[in-house]
Amino acid sequence: MEEKNKRIKKKIILYILLIVIIIYIAYIIYLLIRQPTDIFTIEEGKLYQEETDIGYVIRSEIVVKGENYRNGILQIKSEGERAAKDENIFRYYSSNEENLKQKIEDLDVKIQEVMVNDNSLYQPADMKLLEDQIDEKMENINKITDVSTLTEYKKEINNFIMKKAQIAGDKSPKGSYLNQLIEERKGYESQLNSGAEYVTAPVSGIVSYKVDGLEEVLTPENFSSLNKEYLESLNLQTGKIVATNEECGKIIDNFTCYIATISSSEEAKKAEIGQKVKLRLSNNAEITAEITNIVNENEEDILIILKIEKQIEELINYRKISFDLIWWDDSGLKVPNQAIATDGELNYVVRNRAGYLSKILVKVVTKGEKYSIVDSYTTEELKELGFSNEEIVKYRKISLYDEILLTPNLDKVE
């Protein structure tokens, strides 16, 4: 009987020890996984209020077109290149162009075959650069479904190939087969260009061949006639590249461009003419814009015209884009709003240094939805708030990497 009692006691002790161990392990796990929600370390941060909008690109554009527009264009100034007033920007091909073009295309095939098969051709750095550009375009071309974009890629690839051929010809011995093909091609090009009609720039600006017929519709002179219904009736596709026109070109004002957008945000409803904002474009560039026009479409929708003076070349390819409209931004010491306690008209945080809590007066520079940018007051600002010289001497400043309480109670702090 005594032995049996001993065994029972041992089992009870083991059970108690096991329970204690389980509780201890559970407590350790809790300490490891629990979130330190009571303390926040101050770091440098940035606050901003932004929204993603759809914009219609509006430019000052002049379409230029000659009499022989059916013959096709030979570009003198490339897409996006700047031209001075009265400078030649492109020319039209002469008669018999179709026959001559076909001969040139046949020669391009032969030239490419020679360059691929002749391993003796010297490969200078600029020629290798063209090969890299060709490879990049060829890699992306299989991913493209838009016909106009595909056409643009093919034209660029052909231009790269021809430049590569010219470099290879310069490095080849005189009288070589490659040089003969290149010279023959030049002869056909000369026939195309003889007697061709030149078209000049009526004003200085950026040259573009992406003419879509909206140059006289979406203009800065027509802001008053723009509205949501009209813009949507244009049936433009967001992010679609405007196709290159083979009959004409245009000159774009290289100093100023506009974006019309419709917004229903609270910031849009409070917007003012002359207000400065920022735009983030598809290339992640952030540029400053100015609000020049505001039209209340209805109780919800606001039509806003934004004026920009940078990244104009980036927008040449598009008529309708998606972009981020940044209403405001600020940077500095970033703290959660819940960590800021108010006493009268003053704001405080509670700093924790090795368990010692102290109340720190802070200036809220910018307040966002969840966070604020704070700073310390200057001596002059403290005097304006009514602090005495003794209080200013004892004034504690907020600093980078200070630890503050997320749920401060000012009544329990010194």
Pick 376 or 188 by higher pLDDT.
376
Q: Please report whether residue 149 resides in a domain.
A: yes
∠ Cα 69 72 74 (to 5°):
115
What is the rounded CA–CA span in Å between residue 259 and residue 324? Answer: 12
Instruction: Please determine, for residue 35, whether its predicted confidence score (pLDDT) is greater than 50.
Output: no
Instruction: Please determine, for residue 32, whether its predicted confidence score (pLDDT) is greater than 90.
Output: no
Provide Rg for the chain, Cα atoms: 35
Residues 401 and 384 in one domain: yes
Instruction: Please determine, for residue 101, whether its predicted confidence score (pLDDT) is greater than 70.
Output: yes
Q: What is the DSSP string of 58-113?
A: E--EEEE--TTGGG-EEESSPTT-EE-TT-EEEEE--SSHHHHHHHHHHHHHHHHH
**3-state SS of the chain: helix, strand, coil percent to 5?**
35, 30, 35
**Residue 295 backbone phi and psi in degrees, to 5:** -130, 125
Residues 143 and 191 in one domain: yes
Residues 223 and 175 in one domain: no
Residues 75 and 154 in one domain: no
Which range among 139-148, 180-189, 328-337 has the greatest average pLDDT?
Answer: 328-337
pLDDT band at 23 (very low <50, low <70, confident <90, very high): confident
Q: Please report whether residue 46 resides in a domain.
A: no
pLDDT (average), residues 4-22 = 73
Residues 158 and 234 in one domain: no
pLDDT score for 34: 46
The total domain count for the chain is: 3
Residue whose structure tokens are 């909008």: 53
Q: Please report whether residue 383 resides in a domain.
A: yes
Residues 74 and 134 in one domain: no
What is the rounded CA–CA span in Å between residue 330 and residue 342? Answer: 22
CA dihedral 189, 190, 191, 195 (to 10 degrees): 120
The count of C-alpha atoms lying within 13 angstroms of the C-alpha of 299, restricted to the half-sphere facing its C-beta, is: 0
Strand order in the sheet with 198-200: 73-75, 88-92, 198-200
What is the rounded CA–CA span in Å between residue 301 and residue 95? Answer: 54
What percent of the chain has a predicted confidence (pLDDT) above 70?
79
Q: Please report whether residue 324 resides in a domain.
A: no
Residue whose structure tokens are 């244009």: 234
Residues 217 and 244 in one domain: yes
Domain that holds residue 128: 94-195
Q: Which of 195, 217, 243 is the last residue of a domain?
A: 195
Pick 186 or 384 by higher pLDDT.
384
Residues 124 and 186 in one domain: yes
What's at 99, amino acid-wise?
N
Residue 338 is part of a domain; what is its CATH number? 2.40.420.20
**Surface-to-core class of residue 244, CB atoms within 10 Å of its CB (0-12 exposed, 13-18 middle, 19+ buried):** middle
Please tell me the total number of residues recorded for the chain in this structure.
Answer: 414
Residues 228 and 180 in one domain: no
Instruction: Please determine, for residue 155, whether its predicted confidence score (pLDDT) is greater than 60.
Output: yes
Pick 156 or 302 by higher pLDDT.
302
pLDDT band at 163 (very low <50, low <70, confident <90, very high): low
**Residue 331 backbone phi and psi in degrees, to 5:** -135, 155
> Do 312 and 361 contact (CB within 8 A), yes or no?
no
Pick 281 or 156 by higher pLDDT.
281
pLDDT (average), residues 193-201 = 82
Q: Please report whether residue 2 resides in a domain.
A: no
Residues 105 and 180 in one domain: yes
Q: Which residues contact 99 (CB under 8 A, 6 or more apart)?
A: none
pTM: 0.63
What is the rounded CA–CA span in Å between residue 322 and residue 307? Answer: 16
**Residue 192 CB neighbour total at 10 angstroms:** 23
What is the rounded CA–CA span in Å between residue 376 and residue 49? Answer: 23
pLDDT (average), residues 35-41 = 71
pLDDT score for 353: 87
Helices 177-193 and 147-171 cross at an angle (nearest 10°) of 120
First to last CA, the chain: 66
Q: What is the DSSP string of 347-382?
A: EEEEEEETTEEEEEEEEEEEE-SSEEEEEPPPHHHH
C-alpha 235: how far from chain center = 24
Q: Please report whether residue 115 resides in a domain.
A: yes
Residues 159 and 211 in one domain: no
What is the rounded CA–CA span in Å between residue 35 and residue 39? Answer: 10
* CA-to-CA dists, residue 229 to 50, 215, 262, 297, 363, angstroms: 24, 19, 11, 9, 45
> Do 52 and 327 contact (CB within 8 A), yes or no?
no
> Do 186 and 194 contact (CB within 8 A), yes or no?
no
Q: Please report whether residue 20 resides in a domain.
A: no
Q: Please report whether residue 308 resides in a domain.
A: no
pLDDT (average), residues 65-80 = 87
- Of 92-106, 257-271, 398-412, where does mean pLDDT reach its minimum? 92-106
Check the CA dihedral 112-114-117-122 and report its sign: negative
What's at 204, amino acid-wise?
S
Residues 114 and 188 in one domain: yes
Nearest to 296 by CA among 321, 262, 249: 262
Residue whose structure tokens are 């109780």: 299
